[in-house]
Amino acid sequence: MNSVWIIAKRELGSFFDSLVAYIMLIAFLGFSGFFTWLFGSDIFYVKEASLQVFFGVAFWTLFFFIPAITMRQIAEERKTGTIEMLLTKSINYRQLVLGKWLACFLLVVIALAFTLPYYITVASIGDIDHGATISGYLGLLLMSAVYISIGIFASSLSSNQIVSFLLALLIGIFFHFLFGILAGSTSGWLSEVFDTLSLTNHFESISRGVLDSKDLIYFISITLFGIFMSEYMISKKK
Amino acid sequence: MDISINQLTKSYGFQKAVDDISFQVKTGEILGFLGPNGAGKTTTMKMITGYLDIEEGDIIIDGQSIQKRDMKENIGYLPEHNPLYHDMPVVNYLAFCAKLQKVPNHLVDSRIKKMVQLCGLDVEKHKKIGELSKGYRQRVGLAQAMIHDPEILILDEPTTGLDPNQIVEIRDLIRQMGKEKTVILSTHILPEVEATCDRILIINNGKIVADGTADTLRKQAQGQQVLQVKVEAPSPQAVYEKLQSLPSINTVDIINLDTGRFEIQSRPESVSNQHIFQMCVSEGWVLMEMIPFETKLEDIFRELTMN
């Protein structure tokens, strides 16, 4: 566990050193703030004291931003050869992957923490549903957990960051909406399988405030699957 | 900790990078790993460090197979291309490595201080690694390999990129470390092996072609003794003829007849120093020089690896 934290701390430090963190935070807050407060069907247009609008926007912004922070995780270690240095220290594949995952996850947590003023603002101007808001945040965190895990897996496939980024998006698109579309255009058990696989469905039910163990199991199992696959790829391709 | 390598094999595709090699290294021994590019040195080292999986055979460290027990904590490794995080300051990087290698928290600072001093990084310690010259990066690489005071040091070309002064320093350092630890180092620089290593292992095409000290390798490579002598005598021609008649001498080559310089090759298994001396005494000649000619390690290396 200690090694996981050492890796995560270094990685988080390098996000902030390399400006990746600042760019990601500013862009995320800029986008989500703009669409939540100023433009389109924003909070004032919806006329409801709820953060549903923000969750909808963040659902998409995170989808694009997470591959941008995960793409370098393993790919760059491969390219510069530092992976050899890391793996000859007394850590195993799992600790390495978990450390990387934790660093990305913490960056997303920091980004979401900066949106807490949205919550406070809306709560002060209207009667907000606290339960739904908390589970909305939970939904975003779970969704991020899944995409980070997929992103790190994509990063472990290649030593080229752009390839990793595109791969992560490609896999992500399936979970984000292609499975949903496929579920609609098929029928019977096949439709149910696609329906279960679609991340959007699970996210929507959580962000509406319904905490179902089925959804939790879905998010956690895909996250773990991604982590195992990354471990496997790192051990295979050296 | 002793290392024992037993019938180790590793192939990339159809090509065998390491082909059934076996050797032992004992504590307090510095083993020099020699071989042309692509001979399998780095592959072997990577397997000892646990980075590459073992395909066939086994590596036993301290009586235990590394496939069963993780020995990474006891190994310090300097990889060939010395990969480092260029965006990290030297001290932070060393702290990161120390913690990963499970150096207790209260010792981390003192270990870093020691390494900074040992590897001469004092002036550069707060700079980012990316800003350092190649020689200093190499020092950082060495520092991170030794930060946790490992029992075993695996150094893949430790002196590349260093200037002559640094090379001497690093060699001294390695020799000093080698007294209590087990050190395996690979290099292309042949004088380096002679200067630092107790034992030399030459591998070619994945196979061990020579194993021993520099002296035993020389003897193996060349059975006959070669001497260069200079004899002051009234008639150099007489010296030449007399030398040829000595029973222990195989051939005499004239280097310069006027100054009386000859190159002498003894017969196999015999030594001719005494005979030459006695000959000069009995003839009343003056023996000005007698230089034993050593086969250069370069020649042995070339002979063993060119085919």
**Whole-prediction pTM value?**
0.85
B8 strand-pairing partners:
B21
Residue B305: inside a domain = no
Residue B306: inside a domain = no
Residues B43/B110, Cβ–Cβ less than 8 Å: no
Residues B118 and B251 in one domain: no
Please give the Cα distance from B292 to B289 (Å, whole number). Answer: 10
Tell me if A91 and B100 make a contact (CB, 8 A cut-off).
yes
Please give the Cα distance from A89 to B2 (Å, whole number). Answer: 20
Token pair 């699957």: residue: A225
**A124-178 pLDDT, tens per residue?**
888 888 888 999 999 999 999 999 999 999 999 999 999 999 999 999 999 998 9
Q: Which domain holds residue B15?
A: 3-212
Residue B221 pLDDT > 90, yes or no?
no
Residues B154 and B250 in one domain: no
Please give the Cα distance from B60 to B257 (Å, whole number). Answer: 59
A20 touches chain B (CB under 8 A): no
B12 touches chain A (CB under 8 A): no
Q: Residue count of chain A, please give it.
A: 238
| 3-state DSSP assignment of residue A85 | helix
B48 touches chain A (CB under 8 A): no
- Single-letter amino acid, residue B5: I
Min Cα–Cα distance to chain A from B43, Å: 12
Which residues from B are below 8 Å from A10, CB to CB? 85, 88, 96
Residue B300 pLDDT > 90, yes or no?
no
**A27-53 pLDDT, tens per residue?**
999 988 888 888 877 777 777 778 888
Task: Give the ranges where B131-263 is alpha helix by DSSP (H).
Answer: 134-146, 164-177, 190-196, 214-221, 236-245
The reported pLDDT for the residue numbered B69 is 85
Task: Supply the ipTM of this predicted assembly.
Answer: 0.89
The average pLDDT across B155-178 equals 85
Residue B192: inside a domain = yes
B225 contacts: CB under 8 Å, gap ≥ 6:
B265, B266, B270, B271, B272, B292
Residues B144/B77, Cβ–Cβ less than 8 Å: no
Please give the Cα distance from A186 to A194 (Å, whole number). Answer: 9
Residue B8: inside a domain = yes
* Closest to A177 in 3D by CA, of A60, A32, A28: A60
Residues B234 and B165 in one domain: no
Task: Give the domain-ending residue among B212, B238, B257.
Answer: B212
DSSP per-residue string spanning B33-58? EE--TTSSHHHHHHHHTTSSPP-EEE
Please give the Cα distance from B216 to B210 (Å, whole number). Answer: 10
The closest CB to that of A89, out of B84, B88, B101, belongs to: B101
For A76, B65, B290, the CA distances from B178, given in Å and listed in that order, are: 34, 23, 35
Residues B74 and B192 in one domain: yes
pLDDT band with cut points at 50, 70 and 90 for residue B263: confident
Residues B253 and B204 in one domain: no
CB atoms within 10 A of CB B307: 7
B101 touches chain A (CB under 8 A): yes
Task: Give the domain-ending residue among B192, B212, B232.
Answer: B212
Residues B254 and B181 in one domain: no
Residues B207 and B269 in one domain: no
pLDDT band with cut points at 50, 70 and 90 for residue B222: low
Q: Specify the higher pLDDT residue, A79 or B255.
A: A79
Q: Six-digit token pair at B78?
A: 């300097």
**B173-203 pLDDT, tens per residue?**
888 888 889 999 998 777 888 888 889 998 9
Residues B275 and B244 in one domain: yes
pLDDT band with cut points at 50, 70 and 90 for residue B283: confident
Burial of A125 (0-12, 13-18, 19+ CB in 10 A): exposed
Residue B307: inside a domain = no
CB atoms within 10 A of CB B90: 27
B293 touches chain A (CB under 8 A): no
Residues B208 and B231 in one domain: no
The reported pLDDT for the residue numbered A1 is 61
Instruction: Return the CATH number at B270.
Output: 3.30.70.100
Residue B91: inside a domain = yes
Task: Give the domain-ending residue among B163, B192, B212.
Answer: B212
Number of domains in chain B: 2
The reported pLDDT for the residue numbered A174 is 94
How does the average pLDDT of chain B come out, rounded?
87
